[in-house]
Structure 1
Amino acid sequence: MKHLPKHLRPRWRYLAVTVEGWPDAEIDRGAFQRALWYAGQNLLGDAGAADADLTVLDFDFSDGYGETVVRARRGHADDARAAVACVDAVDDQPVGVAVRGTSGTVRACEEKYLGRRPEVPGQSTVVFENEERAAVGRNDAYDVRLDGSFAGATELDFE
């Protein structure tokens, strides 16, 4: 089968997306792809989601932080950004999702917006609610372990 001429091939835009969850969250590419498809269908409708053709190309998630590249058809980048913003949970695990930038090639997207973790999370012990508790710190935010779950906190919440 012959390739289509360049002027007839679909053109794409690539979104650099960061995913943040609790430190013990385990999220894989398939689960994030499924959550993105459902968000796109709920926001754009079936026809709009099919036109945008949202696809997760690369997914890396560990220690509560992840990065991915999401592909969308040219002309649907704003729809894709909106659909990504609607993802609030993956496999019933709450996540925060942010689009760091949009590019015309995967390589430019990765070089400009991805590749460096903001900070390696550090394990420490903090005093929270008058008790010593384990916490994982990233940047200026902390995830404090409470009886089987986590609570988000900042330095102002500690004594």
Structure 2
Amino acid sequence: MKHLPKHLRPRWRYLAVGLEAWPDADVSRADFQRSVWFAAQNLVGDVGSADADLRVVRFSFDSGTGEALLRVRRGEVERARAAVACVDSVRDDPIGVAVRGVSGTIRAAAEKYLRDGAESSSDETVAFDGDSRRAVVRGERVDVEGDGSFVGATTFDCR
């Protein structure tokens, strides 16, 4: 079977996406892809989501932070951004999704908008709410463990 000529091939854009969740969240590539498809389907319908053809090209997630690279058809970038903004959980884990940028090639998107690897985090013991508790520290953000769940805080809150 012959390849299509270049002027007839589909054109793609690539969305670089940052992900953030609680430190104990378990998010896989397949689960994130499913959540993106469901969000697109619920927002723009079956036909609109098929036109956008959202696919996860690259994915990394560890200790509550991660990033992904999504492929979308060239004329459907705005719909894709709206659909990605509607993703609020993967399985039962709440997740924050932010589009960092859009590019025409995978390489350019990765170089401009993706960091190499997840943000460094460390387990520490902090003073919070008059008690000493375990926490996961990522930059200025501190996720304090308490009563089976996490509480978001800053380094200023943990003194």
TM-score bracket, normalised by the shorter chain, equals over 0.9
Query: Cα deviation per residue 1:20-48 (whole Å; 9 max; x = unaligned)?
Result: 11111111110000000000011111111
Q: Residues 38-57 of structure 1 correspond to what in structure 2 (within 5 A)? A: 38-57=38-57
Structure 2: 5+ residue stretches without partners: none
Query: 2: distance between equivalents of 1:59 and 1:45?
Result: 25
Q: Give the letter aligned to residue 140 of structure 2.
A: D
Query: Cα deviation per residue 1:43-76 (whole Å; 9 max; x = unaligned)?
Result: 1111111100000011111111111100000011
Query: 1: distance between equivalents of 2:148 and 2:119?
Result: 25
Match in the other structure for 1:83: 83
How many Å apart are 1:10 and its aligned residue? 0.3
Match in the other structure for 2:146: 146
Q: Which runs of 4+ in 1 moved over 2 A?
A: 115-119, 155-159
Give me the TM-score of the superposition, normalised by structure 1: 0.96
How many Å apart are 1:155 and its aligned residue? 2.5
Match in the other structure for 1:102: 102
Structure 1: 5+ residue stretches without partners: none
Q: Give the letter aligned to residue 59 of structure 2.
A: F
Q: Residues 6-17 of structure 1 correspond to what in structure 2 (within 5 A)? A: 6-17=6-17
Give me the TM-score of the superposition, normalised by structure 2: 0.96
Query: 2: distance between equivalents of 1:119 and 1:69?
Result: 16
How many residues align? The count is 159
Q: Give the letter aligned to residue 11 of structure 2.
A: R
Q: Give the letter aligned to residue 116 of structure 2.
A: R
Q: Residues 19-34 of structure 1 correspond to what in structure 2 (within 5 A)? A: 19-34=19-34
Query: 1: distance between equivalents of 2:117 and 2:136?
Result: 15
Q: CA RMSD in A?
A: 1.2
Query: 1: distance between equivalents of 2:17 and 2:130?
Result: 37
Match in the other structure for 2:157: 157
Query: Cα deviation per residue 1:69-89 (whole Å; 9 max; x = unaligned)?
Result: 000000111111111111000
How many Å apart are 1:9 and its aligned residue? 0.4
Contact 1:144–1:150 (8 Å) recurs in 2: yes
Query: 1: distance between equivalents of 2:88 and 2:41?
Result: 14
Query: 2: distance between equivalents of 1:83 and 1:60?
Result: 20
How many Å apart are 1:96 and its aligned residue? 0.6
How many Å apart are 1:156 and its aligned residue? 3.2
